[in-house]
Chain A
Amino acid sequence: MGIVVVMSTSKTLLALLESEPAHGYSLKHRYDTALGQPRKIGFGQIYNALASFEKRGLAEVESVEVEAGPARKRYRITAEGVEAVEDWLCTPEPPEAYASAALLTKVSVALLSGRDPQLVLTSQREAHMSRMRDLTEQRRGAGGAHLLAITYELSHLDADLRWIDESGQRLQQGRMSYG
């Protein structure tokens, strides 16, 4: 089977199946605790992903536990699934030059409409700094993947802030006009 293209959350879930088989509940717990994501993943997303893995041959049902309540399927990754994980991990993400596209759009619209874009930049700067402060505090007690996730977000916020600061300076120096 060729490499199956799936979204990165699904790929992450597939990769988390690699260490040991899991049913939906334990896979959710593994995802929420291992990756330090700010938002917990929903059960619906987990079960959709598992059904999709099974359908595509990336994972298979290892056993079915039948106790009180509905049957619980325990999934394990297949060789094709491992190949998909390896391919995903080895393929660089496309560099996203416009990750903060919404902010850029707002500043552009402010310039176009004759409003003060500094107000947009200033309020965004405060929001970014506030988030950076929260993350800096969280970093003190964090380790492993959670620490890496925090520093990843810090680095990206920092890059946005440098763009905000540079834009603010250029606007102030009158070097920027729309078009």
Chain B
Amino acid sequence: MAESEMRVAASDLHLAFGETRALAGVDVAVRAGEAVALMGPSGSGKSTLLHCLSGVLVPDSGQIKLLGRPLGEMSEAERSAFRLRNVGMVFQFGGLVPELTLAENVTLPLQLVGTKARVAKARADELLDALGIGELGGHVAGTVSGGQAQRAAVARALAHGPAVLLADEPTGALDTVTGEVVLDQLLGLAGEMDTAVVVVTHDNRVAAHCDRIVTITDGRVLTPETVG
């Protein structure tokens, strides 16, 4: 894989929390439009890796490049601004602001990067429509179902057209059928935007939606499975 094709490229990442070795020489790369599942037992380091890739955690050593730019060479403020523009995040429990409407939740990241309110609202409506919950834009997040909230979380993560989408157990709180719909929508929209996707999951059926599976055990990548 040529480096220029990569949206995310991590090499030889090491990170320890005290005596606990979380990452012990991890290499992983994801290209534009590709979806990669990160799998492994609890405590294997997969969520830690995801947070390193997002720039929230800083590894003790090794290098992470997002869009070819080394995160380690940025100040914390630069890294935060870079993440805001280029990375979308989806969490297991949505992480929406419960007092705001779904549309307001989706416009939030757009407004943080300076998008005009009218444009942000139109973008939110478009995405909520695409996810099949257009009629719920005015509903307060705390009052909708888990599946609807997770669709809104997907819309929020993709609203600014991120180069990279990082998802931590995005359907872990949903039943199988609802989770499958949300995942299809997430990967479908990300694919249209040519976004690189990394999904942390315990669920083999979620992993089967991805182009590739990277398995982590004890902070190391096992031989990655390569599939068409």
Contact = CB atoms under 8 A, between A and B. Distances in A.
Give the contact-size bracket for chain A.
Answer: 10 to 19
Given A154-B205, A158-B205, A172-B217, A129 B225 contact: yes
Given A169-B41, A172-B217, A129 B207 contact: yes
B41 A133 contact: no
Give the contact-size bracket for chain B.
Answer: 10 to 19
B132 to A, nearest CB: 16
Contact of B205 (A126, A130, A132): A132
A104 B37 CA distance: 27
B71 to A, nearest CB: 31
A72 interface: no
A63 interface: no
A117 to B, nearest CB: 15
A162 interface: yes
Interface in A154-179: 154, 157-158, 161-162, 165, 169, 172
Interface string B16-60: 000000000000000000000000010000000000000000000
Residue of B184, B204, B213 with most chain A CB atoms under a 10 A cut-off: B204
A125 to B, nearest CB: 8
A136 interface: yes
B204 A129 contact: yes
B209 interface: yes
A161 B204 contact: yes
Given A169-B41, A172-B217, A133 B227 contact: yes
A132 B208 contact: yes
Interface of A: 126, 128-130, 132-133, 135-136, 140, 154, 157-158, 161-162, 165, 169, 172
26 contacts: A128-B204, A129-B204, A129-B207, A129-B208, A129-B213, A129-B227, A130-B227, A132-B204, A132-B205, A132-B207, A132-B208, A133-B208, A133-B227, A135-B208, A136-B205, A136-B209, A140-B184, A154-B205, A154-B208, A157-B204, A158-B204, A158-B205, A161-B204, A162-B204, A165-B41, A172-B217
Which 10 A-B residue pairs are closest in the complex by CB-CB distance?
A132-B208, A136-B208, A161-B204, A133-B208, A158-B204, A169-B41, A158-B205, A136-B209, A126-B225, A154-B205
Given A132-B205, A132-B208, A158-B205, 19 more contacts: A126-B225, A128-B204, A129-B204, A129-B207, A129-B213, A129-B225, A130-B227, A132-B204, A133-B208, A135-B208, A136-B205, A136-B209, A140-B184, A154-B205, A154-B208, A158-B204, A162-B204, A165-B41, A172-B217
